[in-house]
Structure 1
Amino acid sequence: MAPTQANQINASSFRDPTTAWLGPDMIWRVIVGSKRNQRGFAILYRSKDFLNWVKAKHPLHSAKKTGMWECPDFYPVSIKGQNGLHTSENGPDVKHVLKASLDNTKREYYTIGTYNIHKDIYIPDKGSVESDAGLRYDYGKFYASKTFFDSSKNRRILWGWINESSSLEDDTKKGWSGIQAFPRKIWLDKSGKQLVQWPVAEIEKLREKEVKLPSSVLNGGSVHEVLGVTAAQADVDATFEISDFKKAEVLDPSWTDPQLLCSQKGASVKGGLGPFGLLVLASKGLKEYTAVFYRIFKGHNNKYVVLLCSDQSRSSLNQDNDKTTYGAFLKVDPLHEKLSLRSLIDHSIVESFAGQGKACITARVYPTLAIDVDAHLYAFNYGTEDVKITGSAWSLKTAKIN
């Protein structure tokens, strides 16, 4: 299956095959990531015996100006419920997902669409694109992901890679680089327009020492410490509820980039509805913290826009670290539904799941003060309007790896 000069593929732009799937014609198929000039490809191969593979005349899918497609992933999702599907499944109740990790930007994008088994082509739904206008599994430091079908529990599991945020010199001192994210169950949202992710249920077996979150109401400008939790290794599940939307800041039509908006309106920038959320891996006195929070803006037609931010700007006193702030717009209606936020904290990892898994942001941080027993956890509201908070936090035991 190696590339040759005849098919005009550079050998360095040919990698990361997907899980193979079996068509109704009993022929196996697999895709490999590639590029030609700056057009990204999912090259399709077929095999009758799983040993000898022949390149198809056309790719499964491609997109211009996307560069090299690393770690492509292609799999079916059910339009009925949260159960995963075997990779070879297709039919009227099935949509397909194609994910590509773009080497140019080190970001991942996925599209939802239809797989035509007879023509062996994948057609994304209208508006589903491989760019910043499209969908991402995770809006933070999360890359090179792959899924697999867990047949024992009928679910599709997503594994992602979290890169470093420390300097090359510090990486060398540590003696290792990069780590796997918490595994996530993944399924198609009821809208059919995006995926939903949630930490696998097994993580809840690591929970111990449940602590209720500190206050039923977070008054404007307040910070409350969550005591009784090992804040360096914790699972926090919070829900926020707003009753008065009058003070929501009007969303400027030019504010279309959520990451830029979060960097301009970080956790220390006070607003009307927000910022409110969690300060994790925080030092006493808040010289260091990673803030995961919401802001609510008033958009056009009296609809409200929810912004999720993960602000690393004060995550470490080590100035050599990457302290990028990440952001995502969340497709929820705060008028009619509460805002949920679950954060998994593991020393240098903060994985946050908003809106019951509709948007996820992973941060890799290396505090210098907020380490082990010196790490603290706070709930905060720096907006002017009060926010009701409910939920719990748990200390997490260390997983036993077989």
Structure 2
Amino acid sequence: MASVEFTDPNAPMVYNGIYHLFYEWSTSGPVYGGIVWAHATSTDLVNWMHHEIAIVPSEPFDIKSVWSGSATIINGKPVILYTGIIKSNQWNYQVQDMAVPKNLSDPYLVEWNKLVEHNPVMKPTDGVNVSAFRDPSTGWKGPDGIWRVTIGSQVGNNGVSLLFRSDDFIHWTKAEEPLHWAKDTGIWECPLFFPVAVDGKEGLDTSVVGSSVKHVFKVGLDSAKHEYHTIGTYNPKMDKYTPDNRSIDNASGLRFDYGKFYGSKTFFDKEKKRRVLWGWVNESSCAADYIKKGWSGLQLVPRTLWLAENGKQLKLWPVEEIERLRTKRVSLQSQVMKRCSILEVPGLTASQADVDVKFELPKLKDAEIMDPSWVNPQLLCSSKPASVQGKSGPFGLLALASKKFEEQTAIFFRVFNHQNNYVVLMCSDQSRSSLEKSNDQTTYGACIDVDPHHDNMLSLRSLIDHSIVESYGVDGKAVISARVYPKLAIDNEARLYVFNNGTEDVKS
């Protein structure tokens, strides 16, 4: 496909053994506009077949555009809810529409029919802001047999997750109270609501409730262009979601990804009993650059997610199928990285690599004392990049590095002592990622709570693919995705290094 922009992943699902991913596709070129739903299928989440466009603006209920939505499996059959933009004297008037497969015997579900006689199935009534009513979630069925979906909205400057109920998934009624809301968070986009098991990694169907599960609620913040989520409790009788006291319910909250990542969707993979997450990563260059190359935006590697052992956060990891892409294996023996040392990883194509390295956790008494004012990990990573020497760190990887280090993307850890507990700062430093300084070279960061009894090794896995570096820290407790555009460190000229720029030795 040429001259296009790929954005939000939509309606991911598995149906009769085939994975489906729909996504917003800009038909007007690599700059956002003329949105339709493109469609691809796969049997392994790695190799994909592109099909004809699935949903286009064509009816009064979506004539101006088709925006994000989700899939729900009802009585074994897939149904899509999506946001349509209609013509109105009110700006950007949003409604919710429904589409179903034209032919269920088609294994690829290429053609989709809009329910013209019923659409729109949900309208912004009862004082709902018509331009802040979008992105229906996957539906879930309560113990009472009634279906629910939630839709992102805004009241004043408060983010709101509206709740709708239906007996038949066609006729919907807005609940008097929202599923959830939070003060001063702006409009909520692409809300997700799903259960996770308290114990184990197994995924759950979206309708599962009970004492053995927690619930995850995620939203996108349009103003900040990043997402956050909370972990909490869902009361199906009251239809209320309540975050745990330790879950921060604003832009400082937990994230699926602390780098470039937005518009995410999950689905329950009943084939492998897992919950799979998709996310979109945009560009770091200017519009003129992606107009020149003819495309922009990518879908990141799909990830499984589950509740961490501490119950306070999620863990995320690339789906196991990605390992099928591994070809030549290169291994380095464990060794002590002396202070201010660097070691090249030889024998691989460093512009495309799946790298897994582990560092032994330094002794707590040797860690730098954490200043209480260091509350923003991204700012801390910016003020303490890979070039700034510390005590226990920085240590990690230099990816997509040029021969003389003019270009490098550093992914690394620093270990701090915070009131006699470990705090691990994970950074993705793009300040030297390219000689082209007009690119966005933001440095990203996340703080990771570490339990020395369970996390005696700090693992770092990075998926490197030319302009993307997806990094998973401490067994997936934090993920940071970056878009970088090196000029020198490309193809066979790219190099990969393990480094320690701390004053304390580190064993890797």
Residue 175 to residue 196, structure 1, CA distance change in 2 (3 Å): same
State which of 310, 320, 325 in structure 1 corresponds to 2:438: 320
Question: Where does residue 102 of structure 1 map in the other structure?
Answer: 221
CA–CA separation in structure 2 for the residues paired with 1:324 and 1:228: 30
Matched, 1:76 2:195: yes
Q: What is the aligned partner in structure 2 of residue 3 from structure 1?
A: 123
**Alpha-carbon distance between aligned partners in 2 of 1:73 and 1:228, rounded to the nearest angstrom:** 42
**SS where residue 256 of structure 2 aligns?**
coil
Partner deviation per Cα, 1:195-244 (whole Å, 9 max, x = no partner): 11011100111111111136612111111110111111110111001455
Which of 1 and 2 has greater Rg? Answer: 2
Structure 1 Cα separation of the partners of residues 244 and 484 of structure 2: 36
1:287 aligned partner: 406
* Aligned counterpart for 2:468 among listed residues 328, 349, 353: 349
Cα distance in 1, alignment partners of residues 246 and 202 from structure 2: 25
1:397 maps to which residue? none
Q: Please name the residue that 2:46 is paired with.
A: none
Residue of structure 2 equivalent to 1:365: 484
Q: 2:424 — aligned with what? A: 306
Partner residue in 2 for 1:276: 395
- TM-superposition CA deviations, 1:145-168 (whole Å, max 9, x none): 111000000000010111111111
TM-score (norm: length of structure 1): 0.93
Is this contact kept in 2: 1:3–1:10, CA < 8 A? no
Report the alpha carbon displacement of residue 133 of structure 1 after superposing the two structures with TM: 3.6
Residue 329 of structure 2 aligns to a residue whose secondary structure is strand
Amino acid at match of 1:196: K
| 2-structure distance, mates of 1:75, 1:243 | 37
SS of 1:11's partner is coil
Shift in Å, 1:57: 0.9
Q: CA RMSD in A?
A: 1.4
TM-superposed CA distance for 1:136, in Å, is: 1.0
Aligned positions of 1:132-147 closer than 5 A? 132-147=251-266
Q: 1:214 to 1:265 in 2, by over 3 A?
A: farther
SS in 2 for 1:205: helix
Equivalent residue number for residue 450 of structure 2: 332
C-alpha contact (below 8 Å) 1:306/1:334 kept by paired residues: no
- Which stretch has the larger CA shift, 260-269 or 186-195? 186-195
Q: 1:3-402 residue pairs with structure 2 within 5 A?
A: 3-4=123-124, 6-213=125-332, 216-300=335-419, 302-334=420-452, 337-389=456-508
Distance 1:11 1:175 in 2: 34
Displacement after TM superposition at 1:2 (Å)? 4.0
Contact 2:362 2:392 in 1 (8 A): no
Q: Distance in 2 between matches of 1:379 and 1:349?
A: 18
Conserved? CA contact 1:271–1:382, under 8 Å: yes
Partner of 1:394: none
CA displacement 1:320-361 (0-9 Å, x = unmatched): 100000111111135761111111111111111111011111
Q: What is the SS of the residue equivalent to 1:211? A: coil
- CA gap 1:172/1:334 in 2 versus in 1, 3 angstroms: farther
The count of residues paired between Structure 1 and Structure 2 equals 387
Contact 2:430–2:442 (8 Å) recurs in 1: yes
Cα distance, 1:299 vs structure 2:
1.8
Instruction: Tell whether the 8 Å contact from 1:149 to 1:156 is kept in structure 2 after alignment.
Output: yes
CA distance in 1, matches of 2:370, 2:238: 44
- Contact conserved, 2:361 with 2:456, CA < 8 A, in 1? no
Q: Which has the higher contact order (CA 8 A, sep 6+)?
A: 1
The CA distance in 2 between the partners of 1:64 and 1:249, in whole Å, is 36
CA distance 1:3–1:36, shift in 2 (3 Å): farther
Post-superposition offset of 1:70: 0.7
Give the Cα separation in 2 of the matches to 1:68 and 1:234: 38
Aligned-partner SS, 1:212: coil
Mapped to 1, the partners of 2:197 and 2:367 lie a distance apart of: 37
Q: Structure 1: any 5+ residue segments left out of the alignment?
A: 390-402
Greater mean alpha carbon deviation, residues 133-142 or residues 94-103: 133-142
Relative to structure 1, is the Cα distance of residues 293 and 78 closer, same or farther in structure 2, using a 3 angstrom cutoff?
same
Task: Check 1:75–1:242 CA distance in 2 against 1; reply closer, same or farther (3 A cut).
Answer: closer
Who is 1:396 aligned against? none
In structure 2, list runs of 5 or more residues that go unmatched.
Answer: 1-120
2-structure distance, mates of 1:2, 1:244: 57
For residues 358 and 410 of structure 2, what CA distance do their matches in structure 1 show? 16
Fraction of identical pairs, as percent: 60
